[in-house]
Structure 1
């Protein structure tokens, strides 16, 4: 094994240190605001002139679907229960009186903690947008009351036009189920008026490719990334082709193949980078999504190198990159996929069962058959089973994966070259006992493509020296399952890891390395 020296992780040695630093920043920020409020009240009491009180009108447009309400808990504290909103569409205008002095700054809080609505638009997009919360005292939170007084802090966004669903999804790929999380402003950046650099994080799901499975993970990730000063991160994800849960007349009657899934990802990235010429992006992919990530980079390397240089990072979580048929699940499933009539029979059987079995019975069966899935994940699975083509798409795409994902098929220009100018910082996080990844194939891939030819370690700030242009390849030592997104605890843990990797990628990009 190669020698190891301290890496360039500059700010935090571990997650505990990061959390402690974040808590200290919040404490100092709250203390400063209390002091400013007291000083303002003292000046106000000494003045005989009454300040005029202008009116601030805030309009909040909400369209909420009860079955997709977010339920991801905060990594720091538990979320207060939210009362479901009935009805397909609701809109209201809130008008409040806002005093000029003292000017209270809205506390930075996690989006899904009494400060978040889920907006379903006509493109089936799940948009997580922040709603203002009033804090009478910075340390004591209260529920939003339309009769309360609050002021809106001046937050300068760096986007000339904020990224939205149309920024990511070209018209040719609509309708598509999507999830969009706008950037959360960093208190440190606001406090010190730091210049803001915008980034986009694009997440590619695995199979079954429903983006709703990742709502908890991506929401937690957005919250954690707000601790990075001078940056804004818009997070976006789209369901894979054929996994649209809505009943739309334009839905394709046939399944979307593996090669067509690659083409869809290329089209999305080309559309995003064309419409936003200054934007840089980081792509994350889970399982099959990591394979699509490398295939996307391969296509950009061949046909659009300038766009490839703007993909500054790629993160593969439990990546299924080579020889799926050699994994334990692959060896079990492969003998059946080529038997004539098996896949059509399974599609019809699933359709009949969903139609005949009552919903409460299906929920009970899923609790028994999928004990690792939490209720939110079971709800997504139920919507997937009821979708027009979901089961068929998952089965036929799975067959494509087993038949076509074999040898390492990407050139060195994709993995990284010592003299390459368009290298993308790649990080892959494998499972220790992954039923969709062969242990032997994983170790061979690490030896051939990994940095230094060994597993990457970043404990105690140590890392591999040789081949810094190559990907970091790590193996989980914490027992996280391949399907981490169906568990709140595993989603939080993977969000923390991803936030740290994103920070490393951004630091490297800003330093020009």
Structure 2
């Protein structure tokens, strides 16, 4: 199109207004819950008074009646410190009759990994990065130590917050694909859900890396994303990412080919997602993909749309970050690299040179050289790059997979079943492009926005209704975030904030059944 509507960051003027609006929603929700609790307390108090005070004729009969031959056993009642505490005690006692008594919230353990931990798996080597445990709000009305024997008939209104069945590394990666470097962040309870005992719906967030496909590049981004998703009431999110095939930093499967092709990378994603969804029939997932990962996301959706639409319907959202979807060779970097990768034997020669350099040059000097030539990379990203250079097949995989991308990622190859056709079971899609992206040709980006984007324009979050709202939101960055956002903690935080906002919109739509 000749003219494009300018993009905006959000439907709010800035992040502060968005946060203020979120706080106001939580305040109104909390006020409503307090009002309901107060009304329940008053009803309980009234029923207790009516049960204790006898009628006038019953009182006279009780006075005239002789004393029983043996004293009756008097059941102890808990001391009433206040009307509110009495109500809470009554509710807990009601639950004690037919079901398990109410207990303080306890965090389960996921095999040997405690929930709330950040679990990193590098091939066969497990690494723990333990975060501070989530402390639930202090309950001033402690009822566990109060011994109440009466059986009350009033219905219970209190429910303890519990996690759903925990997901493990084995839930995401089937046996034939192991060992695979992976990152698993168990769900953190929403403070609002815990405070008001809301029912919780489980979701999983799957992240697909770009090339080079090491998931450890995204540790900061995925951790920040998990922190922000814990603010969404009524939901719990397990965040997971796995390195692409061939990028293990430790051992690799003995039968692994010299390099994993682009088509094989697609097959790996299909196998992992199918394994997860078939082993957890009620789970719904959202997939995020960076650069090549966005291409793998659409290829995965296409495969499931053709072969298993039921599984595809449970992928409720897909988010592409700086997506490389069409004609990669037309980008500025693609035009520079393509002539060299077609020289016979050049890639194998580069692999040998990289192996010699990494073997001969000490780590301190390598770190200095990376700091010199990669100033945008922070220390954690440089350490990941160093482990990538020293890995058994990482350099070879990055080079050969890159050539495969340049040769095979061409025209738009997906149909309306992937992009959206207005039918039930569509996957809500969001694509976030860079304003200046050296791996994306601007002409290809604008062509996709016009033909596939919602409204045929860069998405503007004004709250207006668009006729083709089942189509993807195509957003162009105005914040100066680079394509390689994952090597910077600042950009990782910004992208985590944006991703959490899109996830919240996707989940809200799913919960409403739209």
Instruction: Provide the TM-score with structure 2 as the length reference.
Output: 0.75
Q: CA separation of 1:248/1:386 partners in 2, compared to 1, >3 Å: closer, same or farther? A: same
Structure 1 position 15 matched with structure 2 position 15: yes
Structure 1 residue 131, shift from structure 2 partner? 4.5
Give the conservation status (yes or no) of the 8 Å contact 1:266–1:299: yes
Q: Distance in 2 between matches of 1:205 and 1:505?
A: 21
Q: What is residue 393 of structure 2 aligned with on the other side?
A: 389
Name 2:511's counterpart in structure 1: 510
Equivalent residue for 2:269, pick from 240, 265, 271:
265
Deviation at 1:416, TM superposition (A): 0.4
The corresponding residue for 1:156 is 162
Aligned counterpart, 1:499: 500
Distance across 1 between alignment mates of 2:485 and 2:198: 35
Matches within 5 A, 1:204-223: 204-223=208-227
Is there any run of 5+ residues in structure 2 with no aligned partner, and where? 31-79, 83-103, 108-115, 140-158
Instruction: Give the total of aligned pairs.
Output: 420
Show the counterpart of 1:488: 489
Structure 2 Cα separation of the partners of residues 223 and 477 of structure 1: 24
For the aligned residue pairs, the C-alpha RMSD in angstroms reads 3.5
Q: How much has 1:250 moved relative to structure 2?
A: 2.5
**Normalising by the residue count of structure 1, what TM-score does the alignment of the two structures yield?**
0.75
The equivalent residue for 2:428 is 425
The one-character-per-residue Cα deviations of 1:51-102 (angstroms, maximum 9, x if unpaired) are: xxxxxxxxxxxxxxxxxxxxxxxxxxxxxxxxxxxxxxxxxxxxxxxxxxxx
Contact 1:126 1:178 survives alignment (8 Å): no
Q: How big is the shift at 1:20?
A: 3.6
Q: Higher Cα Rg: structure 1 or 2?
A: 2
Matched, 1:410 2:414: yes
Deviation of 1:423 after TM superposition, in Å, equals 0.8
Query: Residues 318 and 178 (structure 1 numbering): CA distance in 2 closer, same or farther, change over 3 Å?
Result: same
Rounded to whole Å, the distance in 2 between the matches of 1:415 and 1:196 is 30
Whether the 8 Å CA contact 1:432–1:477 is kept in 2: the answer is: yes
8 Å contact kept, 2:122–2:180 = no
Following superposition, the deviation at residue 490 of structure 1 comes to: 0.3
Closer, same or farther in 2 for the Cα pair 1:200/1:262, shift >3 Å? same
Q: Which residue of 2 aligns with 1:355?
A: 359
Question: 1:447, 1:129 → 2: CA distance?
Answer: 46
Q: Is residue 471 of structure 1 aligned with residue 472 of structure 2?
A: yes
Structure 1 residues 126 and 306, CA, compared in 2 at 3 Å: closer, same or farther? Answer: farther
Contact 2:331-2:441 at 8 Å conserved across structures: yes
Name stretches of at least 5 consecutive residues in structure 1 with no aligned partner. Answer: 30-41, 45-102, 107-114, 139-152
CA distance in 2, matches of 1:305, 1:124: 36
- Structure 1 residue 132 displacement after superposition: 2.8
Residue aligning to 1:399: 403
Answering whether residue 439 of structure 2 is matched by residue 436 of structure 1, we say yes
Distance 1:13 1:506 in 2: 23
Tell me which residue corresponds to 2:460: 457
1:381 Cα deviation from its structure 2 partner: 0.3
The farther-off stretch of 334-343 and 243-252 is 243-252
User: Per-residue CA shift, 1:25-75, capped at 9, x if unaligned?
Assistant: 69x99xxxxxxxxxxxx969xxxxxxxxxxxxxxxxxxxxxxxxxxxxxxx
